[in-house]
Amino acid sequence: MFATVLLLLGIALAAGGGWLVALGGNWYYVLAGIGLVISAVLIFLKRTSGAAWFTLVFIGTLIWTIYESGLDYWRWVPRFALMLILGI
């Protein structure tokens, strides 16, 4: 079930991120979406590297959140809360 959630979120992030890039936005969402799709596929295949891919997306999201928001907690919530919940 976790892999299915990752796959759906990854597709949504990549598709929405592509739209944002076309409008001049940040590439983060495309890259995170692709990373989640790769992670989901590897988890479906029962490969432990799926967890490593998720960890890379998680750490990348944390770095991007700090870069975009600084240490302002309320600006972290929309950027990092979902990844934190998935990581727990």
Residues in the chain: 88
Q: How far is CA 16 from CA 49, 55, 72, 73, in A?
A: 26, 22, 25, 24
Residues of the chain with pLDDT > 70, as a percent, come to 100
Residue 76: pLDDT band with limits 50, 70, 90: confident
pLDDT range class, residue 40, cuts 50, 70, 90 = very high
The predicted pLDDT at position 87 comes to: 86
Instruction: Work out the average pLDDT over 72-87.
Output: 85
Q: Which domain holds residue 70?
A: 1-87
Q: How many domains does the chain have?
A: 1
Banded pLDDT at 42 (limits 50, 70, 90): very high
